[in-house]
Structure 1
Amino acid sequence: MCGICCVVSLSLSRCSLHDHVYETLHRRGPDRSRDVTASSSNPEYSCLFSAHVLHMRGSPTPQPLQDDHGNLLLWNGEVFGGLAVEPEENDTQVVLSRLSACKSPSAVLSVLGQVKGPWAIIYYQKEEHCVWFGRDFFGRRSLLWSWGADERSFTLTSVSSHSSDLRCLEVPAVGVYRVDLKSWTERESLKVDVYSWELTDSDFTWEGFPSSVSFVLNHSGLSSPVLPMNMSVTEVEPNSCNSSHTSLDDLKELLKSTGKRETVRRLIDVLGEAVRRRVQHLPHQSHPHQAQVAILFSGGIDSMILAVLADRYIPPDRSIDLLNVAFKLQEPKKNRGSGKKGQNNKKERETHAVTTSLQTHFDVPDRITGRDGLRELTALSPGRKWNFVEINVTQEELKEMRMKNICHLVYPLDTVLDDSIGCAVWFAARGSGLVSEGEAAQRQHNSTAKVVLTGIGADEQLAGYSRHRVRFKTSGLQGLVKELAMELGRISSRNLGRDDRIIADHGKEARFPYLDEDVVSFLNTLPVWEKADLSLPRGLGEKLLLRLAAAELGLGPSAVLPKRAMQFGSRIAKLENSREKASEKCSRLIAS
């Protein structure tokens, strides 16, 4: 994980970086920071490259990384496949080595098209006077674009600041971009070549950019890292369920089908490999028994399966942090009775207040299901030390950190939903909370894990949201297939850049096993009715394939828990205006 930034200006004057942006970039990469400038008098331009590294792999490697030809690489990514990177190697060095050998745009695209894993890149080719930049196919790493008021400079950065003098847009994850700086100096207008992914929507338009910026779409040279989605629709015999209530027995009955069990095992294999790649070969820590991996954990099926699979590949003497966030419930209104009847004496009232005070205020739905999930995991793997971290957030702390940090990280997104999820994920990823020791005792726990696994991608691919049921009821399987294709196509702009900025603010790296290229390719080969059956009740039909996998892995009640969105499960949505719509612009995200 890195914080990367590049400021390009059509002058030889020294480029500068906003102080707040520099500080935020450094929080993303606290292990090593370095600035490098590059300039040219013919044509005339200057560039500032700033990189802040979170060391995750191989030997510590400072960035920007420069080769013998003066080319500079800023790489915020992880190579989990496609290019050969040995466990002891640093992938930034491997990527630069491959790029240095490229003599044409098609060669650069060939290298980047092979990478499996999340990445954002800024690559300066000195001899060609050009800057390449972009994000991976799913946009799992943030990259923002802004331009100067005189339109003679632009900035590329992992994160920006929500202030009046900075205007940013997310770089759309539709391909890889190339800017010819020599051409820019001659034309006084900025032409951006866009080499799109094979499966990208050809009707995409770039909005919000100055009139002096134009985009030229090139459809050749960048192969998609995933297989296309199976869009076939046919009449299939529905799965049977005898009641409107779901149980683990329903899943076990469905698993008796040989074909279903084989598909389930294939999913477990490919998802297990995705988790393995993301939890092994991590940098050593000073305390060998501290957790290196944490999971955003609600006790729901997505996070439970990640925990079970992580348990397979993390050494048994290592603990795993389960990060569970809750926002303080509102104080219940006290009943004011009259007369002596029913009144408690002072001592009884004080005892009751102590008993129901701190913890009950944070017993939100995700806290309750999280504790249930912990019991299931402990039963499956009793030798593992599971740190169930209860992260309790008061309204006062929420307001303080929203204005200080979170509003800048969510930016340029700005909806009520972005606020709710951004705040919940920020506090969860911080990992500061309480861990139970025995029956009643609790101790303070600050997660040391640099890797944070998150379940995003499961709902989008396996029809986990309530809107999928609505679409199925109104438009059948054909409508559902189109909805899922749209979900996966927009996940970069709706979720992933924001979540990357939020989690990385703590010097931690978000990893998304459900969006591993091999996992997505496998799920894309399946017809929709093998992934979900929305004719079945909630808690069974949505994400049916994943629920069957949970049963196969030995999970219990968590396998049939209905989907509950994070903003409702953590109860952050209850703290604000209940009449707000998720898609509305959120006034709370405006920095004061």
Structure 2
Amino acid sequence: MCGICCVVTFGSQCAVHDFLSQDILCCLKRRGPDSSQQLIKSVSDLSYECLFSGHVLHMRGPVTPQPLEDANNNIFLWNGEIFNGVHVGELENDTQVMLQHLALCSSEVDILSLFSSLQGPWAFIYYQASKHSLWFGRDYFGRRSLLWQFSNEVNSTFCLTSVAGYSASGNQWQEVPASGIFKIDLKACVTAKSLSLTWFPWKYSCTKQEVDEILTDVCDQVSKDLAKHVRLVMNESKLCLRAPVIPLNKTISEASGECQGTNISNNMHVVSVETLQRFLAEEQKKKLVHQFIDVLSEAVKRRVLSLIRAQGQKTREAPSMSNKKAHVAVLFSGGIDSMVIAALADKHVPLEEPIDLLNVAFMMKEQAKQKGTTRRHTSHEVQPDLLCPQESCQDLDAKTSAHLSCFDVPDRITGRAGLKELEAISPSRIWNFVEINVTLEELKNMRHQRINHLIYPLDTVLDDSIGCAIWFASRGAGFLSNQGELKPYKSPAKVVLTGIGADEQLAGYSRHRVCFKRYGLEGLNKELEMELDRISSRNLGRDDRIIGDHGKEARFPFLDEDVVSFLSSLPISDKAELTLPRGIGEKLILRLAAKELGLAASTIVPKRAMQFGSRIAKLESNSEKASDTCIRLKSFSVDEL
């Protein structure tokens, strides 16, 4: 993973590097701590200048500093991972491989064909010297962040970067839409004295009329968010990238809407592991579940093995467990998504290597912690409504087996239970359950210093809650419990696996039940289709900026192209059964997979959003809605940037 940036100036009196702020540079360097360098390309006869800034997190093959320049003066910045589609040898670096392939492209069709073939997350910037063209874009799901900014002055500056922040100039940053890739003809911009973006969109194999309607809608949507002097135009030949996944199967069978398990009875509406077992008694259902396990397991395998390891750590043999460090971590709540990812990671990560389970908790008010529960530990009375200091909570945990703690949030409790299940199915593995405890004071400080700039340009209460939770979790700084004693620990893992994408495809959110009740399976299908369409703008760019800030790389197994295509091929009735209660019906196929992997109680844990499970939601305000603009993200002066 990398931090990439490009600044283009047209006839400016200022040097191009003056347009790259030190704050953005610092953010980029945190994303790519292993190599940093810059390259300036001046084309005096056309009066444009480009600055390319690359910051590398070394993950695969030899360390390859960026930007890369080839013999033909083409320049390449790459923030991605190739997991399939283009061959990358074990001793090769995918940045170098991509530039070699691009150098062989003689037409726009060749470039589009190359990017259409890729499987994996990516964002890129490519300067094609012979044609004075600047290409850039994000993958189909937008799993890597890329922002753009246009100056208010016509034909002045244009910037692309992985991460930015509020701009003192008043020129706001926006996420580059993951709706295709873009090209700027720099020579034409100089001649016309205006900025024009040529768009090459993604498309499925559908009819020409359907394609034209889709492209028109998307083009209008993208155009309305651009500066007035910036034009977005469809490429003249109407060339498109081939979507890497198949369209959603919206088939609704006559039997859909009824419980499809064997021996249907009222017992099916009881939330129990036995309910799942009755589904698995059906041969066809069990076969389908194992197909899902196979494709998801392969996705996890690609993501845990495609990274640099020390010699001797490439097999499942376990000659020595001592002094081995974790290379892979999981954002871990003990819920069904993270449990399945951890169980599958265990199948492929070398056995002598620990796996870090990152479990975040925000300090609860004592009154909230007791609400709706019976006080069991009267000898440890704490004054209601006061936040207990972090140190006293840890001392309390060390002195009592009762785990009375202001950090015993729901995700901590299910996380500990999930740890026991993982230890049961894989007792030879070292599972590092990292208890990451965040006080209100630290939350406020780090939001002010770092997190708000990473969440930007998103700005809702929900973005704040999830962004802060993911930032602290992926930092990995917490405690390991050893025989009741908490010891400080910071995860060294560069790869962070996250379960995002499961809810969006398998009807995991509460809004999916509301939609199903109102509009039936047809309405639910439309909702799920929309979920994947908007996941780039709602989640993935933000999460990439957040996790990348620690010099770590987010990897998303549920958004592997093969996984998405497999799930998209199934009718909704094979993936979820929302006539069944919470803890069973949502993400049913994933719960059945978990049962087949040997998991137990975690298979029926109901969906709980991270902001509620970690208890960050409502911590600072009880009156906010998730969609409200978050004042806390904007409570600082631009002079501080």
Match of 2:296, SS state, is helix
Please report how far the alpha carbon of residue 217 of structure 1 lies from its aligned counterpart in structure 2 after TM superposition. Answer: 2.2
Of 445-454 and 160-169, deviating more is: 160-169
Q: Write the distance in 1 (CA, Å) between the matches of 2:305 and 2:119.
A: 16
Deviations 1:65-115 (A, max 9, x none): 111000000000000000011121100011000001111111111111111
Match of 2:627, SS state, is coil
Superposition map of 1:100-499 within 5 A: 100-151=103-154, 152-165=156-169, 166-199=171-204, 201-202=214-215, 203-204=217-218, 205-206=221-222, 207-218=224-235, 219-236=238-255, 237-239=258-260, 240=264, 242-243=266-267, 244-284=269-309, 289-332=324-367, 355=396, 360-438=405-483, 440-499=484-543
Please report how far the alpha carbon of residue 284 of structure 1 lies from its aligned counterpart in structure 2 after TM superposition. Answer: 2.9
Give the AA of the match of 1:214.
R
Aligned to 1:90, which of 76, 93, 100? 93
Distance 1:345 1:252, change over 3 A: closer
On the 8 A contact 1:163/1:591 being kept in 2, the answer is: no
Q: Write the distance in 2 (CA, Å) between the matches of 1:566 and 1:186.
A: 51
Distance 1:278 1:241, change over 3 A: farther
Superposition map of 1:506-585 within 5 A: 506-585=550-629
Match of 1:133, SS state, is strand
On the 8 A contact 1:390/1:435 being kept in 2, the answer is: yes
Q: Write the distance in 1 (CA, Å) between the matches of 2:157 and 2:447.
A: 30
Give the AA of the match of 1:361.
C
Please report how far the alpha carbon of residue 43 of structure 1 lies from its aligned counterpart in structure 2 after TM superposition. Answer: 1.6
Q: Write the distance in 2 (CA, Å) between the matches of 1:515 and 1:390.
A: 27
CA RMSD of aligned residues (A): 2.0
Q: Write the distance in 1 (CA, Å) between the matches of 2:25 and 2:410.
A: 38
Distance 1:122 1:345, change over 3 A: closer
On the 8 A contact 1:241/1:536 being kept in 2, the answer is: no
Distance 1:249 1:106, change over 3 A: same
Q: Write the distance in 1 (CA, Å) between the matches of 2:153 and 2:369.
A: 60
Deviations 1:446-468 (A, max 9, x none): 00000000000000000000000
Indicate the residue corresponding to 2:73 in structure 1. Answer: 70
Deviations 1:230-270 (A, max 9, x none): 11122224234524430000001100111111110000000
Q: When the two structures are aligned, how many residues end up with a matched partner?
A: 579
Indicate the residue corresponding to 1:9 in structure 2. Answer: 9
Match of 1:519, SS state, is helix
Of 84-93 and 227-236, deviating more is: 227-236
On the 8 A contact 2:618/2:624 being kept in 1, the answer is: no
On the 8 A contact 1:241/1:250 being kept in 2, the answer is: no
Any gaps of 5 or more consecutive residues in structure 2? 205-210, 312-321, 371-377, 382-391, 637-641
Fraction of identical pairs, as percent: 55
Distance 1:241 1:173, change over 3 A: farther
Give the AA of the match of 2:440.
Q
Q: TM-score, normalised by structure 2?
A: 0.88
Give the AA of the match of 1:445.
Y
Please report how far the alpha carbon of residue 334 of structure 1 lies from its aligned counterpart in structure 2 after TM superposition. Answer: 13
Please report how far the alpha carbon of residue 387 of structure 1 lies from its aligned counterpart in structure 2 after TM superposition. Answer: 0.2
Match of 2:417, SS state, is helix
On the 8 A contact 1:110/1:221 being kept in 2, the answer is: no
Q: Write the distance in 2 (CA, Å) between the matches of 1:364 and 1:333.
A: 10
On the 8 A contact 2:200/2:241 being kept in 1, the answer is: yes
Give the AA of the match of 1:272.
S
Please report how far the alpha carbon of residue 228 of structure 1 lies from its aligned counterpart in structure 2 after TM superposition. Answer: 1.1
Distance 1:111 1:359, change over 3 A: farther
On the 8 A contact 1:402/1:423 being kept in 2, the answer is: yes
Indicate the residue corresponding to 1:339 in structure 2. Answer: none
Please report how far the alpha carbon of residue 344 of structure 1 lies from its aligned counterpart in structure 2 after TM superposition. Answer: 8.2
On the 8 A contact 1:321/1:389 being kept in 2, the answer is: yes
Please report how far the alpha carbon of residue 173 of structure 1 lies from its aligned counterpart in structure 2 after TM superposition. Answer: 0.1
Match of 1:573, SS state, is coil
On the 8 A contact 1:292/1:451 being kept in 2, the answer is: yes
Please report how far the alpha carbon of residue 164 of structure 1 lies from its aligned counterpart in structure 2 after TM superposition. Answer: 3.0
Q: Write the distance in 1 (CA, Å) between the matches of 2:284 and 2:515.
A: 27
Please report how far the alpha carbon of residue 428 of structure 1 lies from its aligned counterpart in structure 2 after TM superposition. Answer: 0.1
Please report how far the alpha carbon of residue 216 of structure 1 lies from its aligned counterpart in structure 2 after TM superposition. Answer: 1.0
Match of 2:177, SS state, is coil
Of 213-222 and 508-517, deviating more is: 213-222
On the 8 A contact 1:246/1:560 being kept in 2, the answer is: yes
Q: Write the distance in 1 (CA, Å) between the matches of 2:229 and 2:310.
A: 49
Q: TM-score, normalised by structure 1?
A: 0.95
On the 8 A contact 1:147/1:154 being kept in 2, the answer is: yes
Deviations 1:404-451 (A, max 9, x none): 00000000000000000000000000000000111x111101000000
Match of 2:241, SS state, is coil
Please report how far the alpha carbon of residue 167 of structure 1 lies from its aligned counterpart in structure 2 after TM superposition. Answer: 1.1
Match of 2:7, SS state, is strand
Deviations 1:290-319 (A, max 9, x none): 000000000000000000000000111100
Deviations 1:278-297 (A, max 9, x none): 00142135996100000000
Q: Write the distance in 2 (CA, Å) between the matches of 1:221 and 1:486.
A: 21
Give the AA of the match of 2:16.
C
Distance 1:86 1:527, change over 3 A: same
On the 8 A contact 2:152/2:227 being kept in 1, the answer is: no
Indicate the residue corresponding to 2:639 in structure 1. Answer: none
Match of 2:487, SS state, is strand
Deviations 1:470-512 (A, max 9, x none): 0000010100000000001000000000000000000000000
